[in-house]
A and B are shown apart, each in its own frame.
Chain A
Amino acid sequence: MSGTFIGMPAFSPPTLPAFSPPTLPAFPTAAKEAVRNPTLRRNLRYATHTIRAKRAAAVSELDDWAALREAGRQIKDHTLRHLDRYLLQLEESVTAAGGVVHWAADADEANRIVTGLVKATGESEVVKVKSMATQEIGLNEALAAEGIHAYETDLAELIVQLGRDRPSHILVPAIHRNRGEIRDIFTHEMSEWGRPAPEGLSDTPAELAEAARLHLREKFLRAKVGISGANFMVAETGTLAVFESEGNGRMCLTLPETLISVVGIEKLVPTWRDLEVFLQTLPRSSTAERMNPYTSMWTGTTDDDGPRTFHLVLLDNGRTDTLADRVGRQALRCIRCSACLNVCPVYERAGGHAYGSVYPGPIGAILSPQLRGTASDIDASLPYASSLCGACYEVCPVAIDIPEVLVHLRERVVEGGPAVRQGAKVTLRPARGHAAERAAMRAARWTFRHPGALRAGQRLASGTRRLVPRTLPGPGRAWSATRDLPKLPPEPFREWWRRTHRPGGQAPADRQEDQR
């Protein structure tokens, strides 16, 4: 759907550091913006429903979808189970193919490494193909602080960057802009950054896309440094893969002399053959296509073809902490297709901003509190931004049981307990009586007060949860046998809700929001 980088086009408000939870309001506060903006709500609804229907059609073409999904789950679980071994194998194969591998324990370290690499080239600008990992670490801001300008090259990102504005939607980050506004932004702003918009630019999408093509082409042709993420890394061969639509990815990956890829350590698969699963499940789940227009795969460097220097920065930044959680670790299987967003009744009503992170929607609700911890208001409230309907689990191409993880994280917020932060074991205090509990409560109340979200959720989920086995059969057992999967809805949450929910405390304005 969105132009580039299949998977979730990220949104990080340019005015805020990408991943600084304490500065962000809790879930329901941010959700009000979308709920009160009827245009945005209509566009969100149109976008999610359109792509939801298309996805169902694309998936139904493959009668072995369930087997592909199961294979995807097994591949990812097996990789995570032996992540140390496969990371070392990847390092060896990338190095053998002419690449240089760097390891970054957190965002600061990754930013330092990338900034240093760009500076070593003597360049002061880079072209970027959208990547969630670099948005997660706030790379553009870190580069800007060192005088390096990063040009985002995805069309939607360009509209947002030129408009000095925040993306409003994950699939189509510029959906809050209509064609007339985009024409005005291009006409007024392009000249400040490079090639001006053509004289007499009209507002037809084709002409606007042409203006973007010309504006960005100038940057691609002179670019010396490209920065990307990757959708997959293959341990046995050292191959990286980027899935996209517009071709700006291909530009960034092949024209510059130096390529720097920042990739989360969970993006690994063991073998070349494993890609045959994800090449089938990712495009159909994400943009609802049989195949996205362009996929690039490269292994180290190739003489006279593409960048002469290739750096791979392997990013932890909370991933190993997530891996330490026996329930929550399944979130690391995520291939960022965004299918769970499109079916989520809460996302449809709350909008992407409400999740306070580059990872919105159901996956954001389980990933952000794990990568960042549950100390802040926003992260404590995210596990409550769900009606637990299970539609996200049903569409997930790697079978992440998002409701299960949400329930687990709610327990962690309410009851506290052991967790791992930055590699160290810590004991979390229960949120009871603290600001975090109030934030969580507000989020839960928001969900309960939007009966539309609940009802739609229940409809979507009909029949889903019945199919969930209590423990996973077969090889999955080794991974999941440590505990039974919980029943839904869970008692601890209900009890907590009864204890904290005071019927008199509702704001009438809130209650009406969903009845429009």
Chain B
Amino acid sequence: MSSRDVILGRVRRALADVPDDDTPYEVAVQRGYRRAHGERSIGETVDLLAENLADYRALVHRTDAARLPGLLARLLAGRGARSVLVPPGLPADWLAGELPTRVADDAELTPHQLDRVDSVITGCAVAIAETGTIVLDAGPDQGRRRITLVPDHHICVVRVPGQVVSSVPEALGRLDPARPLTWISGPSATSDIELDRVEGVHGPRTLEVVLTSED
């Protein structure tokens, strides 16, 4: 007998005492919890996102479409970045002016080459106000998961209010589980040394989130 059969057989015998139960999943799981917490206008939801992002030590900037390229260029320059990784589908009009060397998100790029890139700019799939979270789904403006992991400086552009939801349940409804997903809430952190919080261990130590209004 295969271990698969062994385990499945054990499960069935283990449950022999339980009264027959054909309650469908939809009835067995009652979702008495809220879809979102609190009543907020769209503007207040965006404000809450900014507040919670900052609370977890992301650097938050607010701008609009016209001023976005200038802001991105300034953020890169301020950081002294010599190279910047750009996913294939990043809107061309986000980038303008004097920029560091652009590196394409190429499948041939080895981890070691990636490690020499200073910064990365991406969009996102959705942002969650209640938790201060951005979610990447490897879409064309976000690229493969590794490009937002190895470089030490990540700039993530969120289109507001279109990409902002209030809550985790609202976010899940917008996401496709077939895609690889990365949920990011502030830069990586550890408290392993004397319970002192240190930002940035293996992921980017600096996370900058740019909220850019769509109108």
Which residues of A does B touch, CB under 8 Å?
1-4, 46-47, 50, 61-64, 67-68, 70-71, 74-75, 77-78, 81, 83-84, 87-88, 97, 103-105, 109, 153-156, 159, 172-175, 178-179, 182, 205-206, 208-209, 212-213, 216-217, 220-222, 234, 237, 239, 245-248, 250-251, 254-255, 265, 270-277, 279-280, 289-299, 302, 304-306, 314, 316, 320-321, 323-324, 326, 329, 420, 423, 474-475, 478-479, 481-482
Contact = CB atoms under 8 A, between A and B. Distances in A.
Contact of A83 (B15, B17, B196): B15
A155 B172 contact: no
B109 to A, nearest CB: 11
Given A179-B194, A245-B190, A293 B203 contact: yes
Contacts of A208: 193
By Cβ-Cβ distance, the 10 closest A-B pairs, closest first, are A247-B203, A247-B202, A320-B10, A324-B14, A3-B190, A67-B32, A247-B188, A295-B183, A291-B185, A67-B33
A484 B111 CA distance: 57
Given A105-B3, A250-B182, A254-B146, A475 B188 contact: no
Nearest to B112: A221
Contacts of B132: 290-291
B52 interface: yes
B6 interface: yes
Contacts of A255: 111, 146, 149
B104 to A, nearest CB: 13
A206 B198 contact: yes
Contacts of B15: 81, 83-84, 323
A478 B202 contact: no
29 contacts: A3-B190, A46-B195, A63-B34, A63-B37, A70-B32, A74-B28, A81-B21, A97-B178, A105-B3, A156-B190, A179-B193, A182-B193, A205-B196, A237-B177, A246-B190, A247-B201, A247-B202, A273-B172, A279-B183, A280-B168, A290-B56, A296-B182, A321-B14, A324-B10, A420-B13, A420-B14, A474-B30, A479-B18, A482-B19
Contacts of B202: 153, 213, 216-217, 220, 246-248, 250-251
A401 B161 CA distance: 43
B178 A209 contact: no
Nearest to B143: A305
**Of listed A1, A61, A68, A279, residue having the most chain B CB within 10 A:** A279
B128 to A, nearest CB: 8
B115 A71 contact: no
Contact size range, B: 35 or more
A315 to B, nearest CB: 9
Contact of B190 (A155, A291, A326): A155
Contacts of A294: 182-185, 188, 203
B28 A239 contact: no
B11 A172 contact: no
B189 interface: yes
Contacts of B112: 221
Contact of B177 (A155, A174, A234, A250): A234
Contacts of B144: 254, 304-306
A104 B168 CA distance: 34
Contact of B198 (A77, A87, A205): A205
B25 A84 contact: no
B201 A290 contact: no
A366 to B, nearest CB: 17
B192 interface: yes
A50 B197 CA distance: 13
A77 B28 CA distance: 9
A160 B111 CA distance: 27
Contacts of B190: 2-4, 155-156, 209, 245-246
B169 to A, nearest CB: 4
